[in-house]
Amino acid sequence: MNDFDFFTGTWDVANRRRTDFLDAGSAWEEFPGVSTASRHFGGGAHFDEVVFPTLGSAGLTLRLYDPAREQWSLYWSSSRTGVLFPPVTGRFTDGIGIFHGEDHYDGKPVTARFVWSEISADSALWEQAFSTDGGSTWLSNWTMRLTRRP
């Protein structure tokens, strides 16, 4: 239940995302962010806000651990919309967290996948991918390379 304890603190975030999340040929854009994360409920909840200064926006994620299911639910919201997106759910196995959920992008149904990997005391990698065919194929569309601030 303490899987996200590593993330507590302040991080510099190097973002890289596609300009169109469903188009493999779309350009990548890069922009900085700063994430501040905190631990709650004895490790069973985690919250972070990431600010994107060059975009003039921010996002937040609430992570809740369900001990009966032994899995996390991750909820994302953007300051641009104020909408809480449907959760992705999953767990960590061998140091890698994989989470899936159903959503929509530009009116099209998608399966979203978040992967947390390359986790160390001072760095981590988060990746988002979408599938339009029920998970047979995936298109990576956003990565965040995180580096802990001193």
pLDDT in tens, 53-96: 999 999 999 999 999 999 999 999 999 999 999 999 999 999 99
Q: What percent of the chain has pLDDT over 70?
A: 100
Q: What is the CATH number of the domain that holds 101?
A: 2.40.128.20
- What is the pLDDT averaged over residues 114-127? 98
- What is the pLDDT averaged over residues 46-58? 97
- The count of structural domains within the chain is 1
Report the pLDDT value the prediction gives residue 150, as an integer from 0 to 100.
87
- What whole-number distance in Å separates Cα of residue 107 and Cα of residue 115? 24
Q: Which domain holds residue 118?
A: 5-19+26-148
pLDDT in tens, 129-147: 999 999 999 999 999 999 9
Using DSSP's 3-state secondary structure scheme, residue 9 falls into: strand
